[in-house]
Amino acid sequence: MISPKKYGGRVGLSLVELLIVLMIIGVLAALLIPNISAIQLKAEGVVCNARLRNLWIAFSAQLNDGNGWPQIPPGTEIGSMAEQQWWLTTTSNSMGLTKRDWNCPTTIRTSGRDTNSQQVNLISYLPTLFDAKPMTPSKWPRMPWFTEAVGMHGQGHLSVRADGSVCPVQDQ
């Protein structure tokens, strides 16, 4: 332990002791800074998992209430902005979901950086287009209910299954 020295009746640290403390802080900062982006990506992956589960919970409640899987209007182009807006509006009105519920935080953070991207998405998760029968989504346990549009978490596109489990789907 560094003991303070008395100089003229005052207690203080010498210049060498102060430099040692600053060097220790510098070394600790140098060890932490490169890991900040990995820590942030890991935390965003956890939030992404939670949002997929929240979509599953909301749609499960819809199905358990005897309502079928929401059906996009005929003539709506799959993957278009109109379809994405339809999902946002429909689920906001019937299930209380918000745009935040439909978006991965990593996609939101990185979307402003990518100036080459031609495709702008309103939602990060793509719903599977089941028929309107309430039991259909549960009949296909391996079929994802929602899949992440862009695999942002280093393990493929995340998806949520009929049992509520979130797992990666590897790119083929």
Range name among 37-41, 62-66, 114-118 with the lowest pLDDT average: 114-118
pLDDT on residue 32: 84
State the pLDDT at residue 5: 57
Place of tokens 């918000």: 98
Nearest Cα to Cα of residue 56 among 137, 2, 122: 137
Residue 172 has pLDDT above 50, yes or no: no
Question: Can you give the pLDDT at residue 33?
Answer: 87
For 6-39, the pLDDT digits (tens) are: 556 667 778 999 999 999 999 999 988 888 888 8
Both tokens of 93, joined, read 């009105």
d(CA 72, CA 70): 7
* pLDDT given for residue 37 in this prediction: 85
